[in-house]
Amino acid sequence: MWRRKFGFAFVVALLGLVAAHADDADVKKTLAPTGSLRAALYVGTPTSVLDPKASEPRGVGYELGKELARHLGVPYEPIVYPKNADVQESIKTGKADVAFTNASAARQKEMDFGQPYLLIELGYLVRGDSKIAASTEIDQKGTKIGAAAGSTSASTLSRDLKNAELVLATTNQTGAGMLAEGKIDAFATNKATLFELALKVPNSKVLPDRWGEERHAIAIPKGRENGLPYIKAFTQDVLASGLVKAAMDRAGLRGALPAKAE
């Protein structure tokens, strides 16, 4: 009983902290300087947004952005891009206010992040007739590995692959098409996206093991660090309240787990 009471009190305290921050005009001006919260998203993945034209769009990033705007008391303005590289550029240039993306070491140099809210395995998608059975068999001469330009997978594999050839795709969807046409032997990204892409590549399969992990967090442009305490409090709130898990379920996200609230 005391644990339940403590858990309830913890969530209430978090909500109060977030509300207190939202009342601060300076925080609103920092996080939503145009008066609306401009959330950078990219289409076709459950970690961001699946179908932005749907009556009730699904996607963890889309739902977190909508909830963040509600907490701040400002209009929600989702900006949907065709590829992830555009999302990163929009945050670096300040054309968007928040993004929901992997907090890699390289990106932390270009934008600021709250704490992780989502942990996702990195993997490979291969055709059903592929002889590749595990990630450890990928780095072979004559093997072509696809990854989306500007993605964490592309930057990591460009450094780690010693024998296989890395082939850059404009978008994840383009990469899936390249795999279906036999132009590449495998496509690399996080498993949440791979399971979605597998539906578009007949007889394809996601390899069962992993070659890394992404830690998704809310990103804001550099120079707005005064808003980070609020972003961190908000992340604690949506983790403790179960909103992250609920958004994952609604989007059908697989190969991922919500991070633990600190």
Summarize the confidence of residues 192-203 as an average pLDDT: 90
CATH number of the domain encompassing residue 190: 3.40.190.10
pLDDT value of position 21? 46
Residues 31, 81, single domain; the answer is yes
Domain count, the chain: 2
pLDDT at position 22 over 70: no
Q: Model confidence over 235-246: pLDDT tens digits? A: 999 999 999 999
Let me know whether 136 and 178 are in one domain. Answer: yes
Q: Both tokens of residue 243?
A: 């909103």
Rounded CA separation 96/221 (Å): 8
Domain boundary among 193, 212, 231: 212
Q: What is the pLDDT of residue 179?
A: 97
Confidence at residue 255, expressed as pLDDT on a 0 to 100 scale? 85
Task: State the DSSP code for 260.
Answer: P
Percent of the chain with pLDDT over 70: 91
pLDDT of residue 14: 52
Task: Give the model's confidence band at 152: pLDDT under 50 very low, under 70 low, under 90 confident, else very high.
Answer: confident
Give yes or no: residues 149 and 164 share one domain: yes
One domain, residues 15 and 140:
no
Q: What pLDDT is attached to residue 161?
A: 96
Question: Tokens at residue 54, please?
Answer: 């749907």
Confirm if 115 and 236 have CB atoms less than 8 A apart. Answer: yes
In whole angstroms, how far apart are CA 122 and each of 58, 61, 201, 237, 248? 22, 18, 18, 26, 17
Please tell me whether residues 146 and 70 are part of one structural domain.
no
Domain that holds residue 139: 121-212
Same domain, 99 and 223: yes
Name the pLDDT band for 18 (thresholds 50, 70, 90): low
Q: What pLDDT is attached to residue 10?
A: 52
Residue 84: predicted pLDDT:
87
Residues 14 and 96 occupy one common structural domain: yes
Residues 154-172 have a mean pLDDT of: 95
Angle between helix 228-240 and 2-22 (nearest 10): 150
Together in a domain, 10 and 114: yes
Nearest to 40 by CA among 93, 109, 95: 95
Instruction: Kindly give the pairing relationship between strand 37-42 and strand 98-102.
Output: parallel
Neighbours of 163 (CB within 10 A): 10
Is the same domain home to 110 and 35? yes
pTM of the predicted model over 0.95: no
Q: What is the pLDDT of residue 72?
A: 97
Reported residue count of the chain is: 262
Averaged pLDDT, 151-173: 94
Residue 144 is encoded by which pair of tokens?
């072509």
State whether 73 and 34 are in the same domain: yes
Mean pLDDT of the region 35-50: 94
Check whether residue 223 and residue 187 sit in a common domain.
no
Quote the mean pLDDT of the chain: 91
Query: What is residue 262's predicted lDDT score, i.e. its pLDDT?
Result: 72
Residue 94 sits in the same domain as residue 218: yes
Amino acid at 229: P
